[in-house]
Chains A and B, each alone.
Chain A
Amino acid sequence: MSSTVTQVNGKAPAEAERQHASMLPPPVWVDGDPSLRKITNDIAGPLEARPTKGWWICLAVAGAALLNLGGMVSYLFAKGIGIWGLNNSVGWAFDITNFVFWIGIGHAGTLISAILLLFRQQWRTSINRSAEAMTIFAVMCAGMFPGIHMGRPWDAFFIFPYFPNQRGPLWINFRSPLVWDVFAISTYLTISLVFWYLGMVPDLATLRDRAAGKIKKFVFKILSLGWNGSFRTWSRYEVVSLILAGLATPLVLSVHSIVSMDFATSLLPGWHTTIFPPYFVAGAIYSGFGMVLTLLIITRSTMNLQRYITLRHLDKMAKVTMLTGMIVSYAYITEFFVAWYGGNLYERYHFINRATGPYAWCFYLMVLCNVITPQMLWFRKARTSVAFLFVVSIMVNVGMWFERFVIIVVSLHRAFLPSGWGMFYPTVFDVGILIGSFGLFFTCFLLFIRFLPMIAMWEIKGVVGHGAHKLVTSRVDQEAEAVHV
């Protein structure tokens, strides 16, 4: 008998396989089979009820941190950046670390809302709204840092070219990556904001038509732009969403690439390397998914949204985290390999110093969080355990903050000449402003989940209302009945 199978049930194997594939049920992304009305009630209902105690406690903590930020930044403006631990050797430290950290967080939101839309990944529908909101708040936090890092923040508008040009005919230097960064981040913030708002318009109309109070009705009437569910508008709206997704996809890749060029175009060992753009983009998505996991694990349980943000969603996000984590690990290895293989004395010293110098503990913490931790996600049990994923997501955030700290501070503190070496020690203002930026981020996020629909109702309705979902749920019901009989 031949060992190769030529026929299965009288059909060629490829044909049989295709038939089998077409019989596999498409995944179901919403548990149970909620009616359209139930979806509206589940998501819009909590916005109309009184906020829970847990929400007030979170808001109090975040608000306190935000107040702290306001106070410390005011003091910074009054005194100057000498209150930070910066010195002549280390001129960029917590400020730029925080900037890169927050910009990176934003990237997961755009990946989920734009790139996964182009790939027609339906699991994005439950999480895209909150991930986009996270993007906007994170970019706001990020944008703050270069601003307050300037010696004279009241002259911050100098970074933009403007008419009439009051600096004589002297213009900004368009060859500088720092100027590219200004354009990249303001474009990113604007497009993300527009994408987020446009995606919310149909849901704002739903809230308008439900609103009982006069003020609420008035506000939602203004925000919902007179949306009335017209299909001619829906048809155009879907095309525009696709276009915006198509524009946002290269945009998000460009943003962190340009951030990485702030470093890569310099000559400093540890910064001057060509792998930075893809390495930074992968790291950004990795850290962003860490933050999305942290936020969604908290909100799905506090707002009772387990039906919409299921374990299968967490599993998918964990897989993306693992993949990007491994790309980041690969970049770490490449950096060390090139330092050895490239034969540049300064580069080699930098990497030896990274692993054995005074900041080695930061390096090993980063390896623990970014290289070893994501490896746990190979196990299905780990990907579907909410508590474990929460711990992993926190470690991802910690690890990625330290990655930026290692890249920035460790490279700067021992550059070429030993006479220019120095150490950076954070002051209370460095740490306080970092904590304050978390306060800003979480205050915004808490207000968002309180006043706006954190799950895109119309997209969930589209997923539930269309054939595939119905087919599967009815099949599951039939199977369940068959078992009972």
Chain B
Amino acid sequence: MSSKFLVATFSDADALLRAVRSTVRADFRIYDVYAPYPVHGLEQAMNIRRTRLPWVTFIVGVCALCLALTFQFYTTVLDWPLNVGGKPDNSTLAFVPICFELTVLLSGLATVAALLLRARLYPGKNPVLFDDDVTNDTFALVLRQRDASFDVHRAWRVLQENGADRIREKEVES
């Protein structure tokens, strides 16, 4: 299925920010903004909710910590207790470094995996580029023409008034 989009490009981050604010004020829902770098202040302008990815880090971190502690306890206390230099079987303090390392390792990897899943990024994916230069020096504001109620002319006018360099309609397979 393909959808129709209205793409406005800007050469300057400040112009983009102004346009985003005006577009939101004019009651248009912004599909997305494309930029060569993360522009500060866009989150507030676009009303993006804070990501819940830190929860993945926290939950996986806690699980990894428990797993590491349990595994070391199981091997050295339950499965095969071995007297090493007279140290106690359950040398909990000596288990701390490995618990820490495994917590960092697993929570870090899980966070990155969650990011890739959430953002639908995977090796070899065909990128959907709304402008050829968004990874170079161009900023693009994209509105989706959901149905007949979308007022293209009004949207066009709002974008033009806010200094868009170029506005065009684009059809993208999705």
Task: Collect the chain A residues with CB atoms within 8 Å of residue B79's CB.
Answer: 169, 171
Q: Are A462 and B97 in contact (CB under 8 A)?
A: no
Of B13, B87, B126, B137, the contact of A175 (CB 8 Å cutoff):
B87
Q: Is A302 at the interface (CB under 8 A from chain B)? A: no
Of A171, A177, A210, A234, the contact of B80 (CB 8 Å cutoff):
A171
Q: Are A206 and B127 in contact (CB under 8 A)?
A: no
Q: Mark B97-140, 1 if CB is under 8 A from A, else 0.
A: 11011101101110110011011111111111110111111001
Task: Collect the chain B residues with CB atoms within 8 Å of residue A198's CB.
Answer: 112, 115
B22 to chain A, nearest CB (A): 17
Q: Is A92 at the interface (CB under 8 A from chain B)? A: no
Of A194, A223, A251, the contact of B123 (CB 8 Å cutoff):
A223
Segment at the B interface, from A178-186, A282-290, A361-369, A439-447: A178-186
Q: Mark B122-163, 1 if CB is under 8 A from A, else 0.
A: 111111111011111100100000000000000000000000
Task: Collect the chain A residues with CB atoms within 8 Å of residue B51's CB.
Answer: 235-236, 239
A119 to chain B, nearest CB (A): 17
Q: Are B119 and A236 in contact (CB under 8 A)?
A: yes
Task: Collect the chain B residues with CB atoms within 8 Å of residue A458's CB.
Answer: 36-38
Task: Collect the chain A residues with CB atoms within 8 Å of residue B128's CB.
Answer: 226, 228
Q: Mark B45-83, 1 if CB is under 8 A from A, else 0.
A: 010101101100100000000000001100110011010
Residue on B nearest A205 in the bound complex, by CB: B135
A66 to B123, CA, bound (A): 31
Segment at the B interface, from A2-10, A34-42, A425-433: A34-42
Task: Collect the chain A residues with CB atoms within 8 Å of residue B134's CB.
Answer: 228-229
Task: Collect the chain A residues with CB atoms within 8 Å of residue B72's CB.
Answer: 174
A458 to B135, CA, bound (A): 9
Q: Mark A13-26, 1 if CB is under 8 A from B, else 0.
A: 00000000000000
Main SS class of interface, A: helix
Task: Collect the chain B residues with CB atoms within 8 Å of residue A153's CB.
Answer: none
A451 to B8, CA, bound (A): 33
Q: Are B119 and A183 in contact (CB under 8 A)?
A: no
Q: Are A244 and B37 in contact (CB under 8 A)?
A: no
Of B34, B50, B109, the contact of A229 (CB 8 Å cutoff):
B34
Task: Collect the chain B residues with CB atoms within 8 Å of residue A457's CB.
Answer: 36
Residues 194-214 of A contacting B (Cβ, < 8 Å): 194, 198, 201-202, 205-206, 208-210
B56 to chain A, nearest CB (A): 9
Residues 29-75 of A contacting B (Cβ, < 8 Å): 35-37, 40
Residue on A nearest B100 in the bound complex, by CB: A254
Q: A222-B124, A228-B127, A240-B115 are in contact. Are A247 and B94 (CB under 8 A)?
A: no
Interface residues on A, range: 35 or more
A314 to chain B, nearest CB (A): 25
A470 to chain B, nearest CB (A): 9
A168 to B82, CA, bound (A): 13
Q: Is A465 at the interface (CB under 8 A from chain B)? A: yes
Q: Is A485 at the interface (CB under 8 A from chain B)? A: no
Q: Are B105 and A191 in contact (CB under 8 A)?
A: yes
Q: Is A231 at the interface (CB under 8 A from chain B)? A: yes
Q: Are B75 and A228 in contact (CB under 8 A)?
A: no
Q: A161-B75, A462-B38 are in contact. Are A184 and B125 (CB under 8 A)?
A: no
Task: Collect the chain A residues with CB atoms within 8 Å of residue B125's CB.
Answer: 225-226
Q: Is B26 at the interface (CB under 8 A from chain A)? A: no
Task: Collect the chain B residues with CB atoms within 8 Å of residue A208's CB.
Answer: 127, 135
Q: Is A450 at the interface (CB under 8 A from chain B)? A: no
Residue on B nearest A224 in the bound complex, by CB: B127
Residue on B nearest A239 in the bound complex, by CB: B51
Q: Is B43 at the interface (CB under 8 A from chain A)? A: yes
A254 to B98, CA, bound (A): 10
Task: Collect the chain B residues with CB atoms within 8 Å of residue A462's CB.
Answer: 37-38
Q: A171-B80, A231-B34, A231-B38 are in contact. Are A236 and B118 (CB under 8 A)?
A: yes
A247 to B42, CA, bound (A): 26
Residue on B nearest A174 in the bound complex, by CB: B72
Residue on A nearest B89 in the bound complex, by CB: A175
Residue on B nearest A175 in the bound complex, by CB: B94
Task: Collect the chain B residues with CB atoms within 8 Å of residue A243's CB.
Answer: 53-54, 57, 108, 111
Residue on B nearest A204 in the bound complex, by CB: B135
Q: Is B25 at the interface (CB under 8 A from chain A)? A: no
A202 to B129, CA, bound (A): 13
Q: Is A190 at the interface (CB under 8 A from chain B)? A: yes
A-B contact pairs, 26 of them (CB 8 A): A173-B76, A173-B82, A174-B76, A174-B95, A175-B84, A179-B98, A180-B101, A183-B102, A186-B105, A187-B102, A187-B104, A194-B109, A201-B121, A208-B127, A222-B124, A229-B34, A229-B134, A231-B33, A231-B46, A235-B42, A247-B57, A248-B108, A251-B104, A254-B101, A258-B97, A457-B36
B residues adjacent to A (C-beta < 8 A): 13, 32-40, 42-43, 46, 48, 50-51, 53-54, 57, 71-72, 75-76, 79-80, 82, 84, 87, 91, 94-95, 97-98, 100-102, 104-105, 107-109, 111-112, 115-116, 118-130, 132-137, 140
List 9 A-B pairs, minimum CB-CB distance, nearest first. Answer: A226-B125, A36-B137, A225-B121, A171-B75, A462-B37, A231-B33, A180-B97, A234-B38, A175-B94
